[in-house]
Amino acid sequence: MSKQNKGESASRGRRDFIRSAGILIGSAVVNGSNAGSLSYDTEAPPQTQNRDIQNGFFDIHLHTCFPRLPEIARPNRTHYPSPEVLIEMMNNAGIAKAVVLSTLSPECRYTIVTPEETLQICNKYPGRLVPFCNFDPRYLTNSTKANFLPLLKAYKKAGFKGVGEYIPNIFLDDPLNMNFFSQAEEAGLPLTFHLAPQKGGYYGCVDDPGLPRLEKVLKSFPRLIFLGHSQVFWSEIGTLKNPEERKGYPKGAVEREGRVVELMRKYSNLHGDLSAGSGFNAIARDPEFGYRFMEEFQDRLYFGTDIANVPQNLPIVPYFRKLKEERLISAEAYEKIAWKNAANLLK
Q: Could you tell me the smallest distance in angstroms from the CB atom of residue 222 to Zn ion? A: 25
Q: Could you tell me the smallest distance in angstroms from the CB atom of residue 266 to Zn ion? A: 26
Q: Which residues are registered as beta bridge partners of 98?
A: 59, 129
Q: Could you tell me the smallest distance in angstroms from the CB atom of residue 325 to Zn ion? A: 28
Return d(Cα 240, Cα 327) in angstroms, integer: 30
> For the chain, what percentages of helix, strand and coil (3-state, to nearest 5) are there?
45, 15, 45
- Residue (29 or 307) nearer to Zn ion, CB: 307
- Residue (84 or 306) nearer to Zn ion, CB: 306
Q: Could you tell me the smallest distance in angstroms from the CB atom of residue 255 to Zn ion? A: 29
Cα-flanking dihedrals φ and ψ of residue 147, to 5°?
A: -105, 100
Return d(Cα 316, Cα 281) in angstroms, integer: 9
Q: Could you tell me the smallest distance in angstroms from the CB atom of residue 149 to Zn ion? A: 26
- Residue (165 or 185) nearer to Zn ion, CB: 165
Q: Could you tell me the smallest distance in angstroms from the CB atom of residue 52 to Zn ion? A: 26
What are the residue ranges of helices labelled H in the chain? 2-9, 14-31, 83-93, 115-124, 149-157, 175-187, 212-220, 231-234, 259-266, 276-284, 287-296, 316-325, 331-335, 341-345
Contact between 64 and 81 (Cβ < 8 Å): yes
- Residue (307 or 337) nearer to Zn ion, CB: 307
- Describe the crossing of helices 14-31 and 83-93 by its angle, rounded to 10 degrees: 130
- Describe the crossing of helices 259-266 and 212-220 by its angle, rounded to 10 degrees: 10
- Residue (117 or 306) nearer to Zn ion, CB: 306
Q: List interacting residues with Zn ion (CB under 5 A).
A: 165, 306
- Residue (59 or 165) nearer to Zn ion, CB: 165
Residue nearest to Zn ion (CB): 306
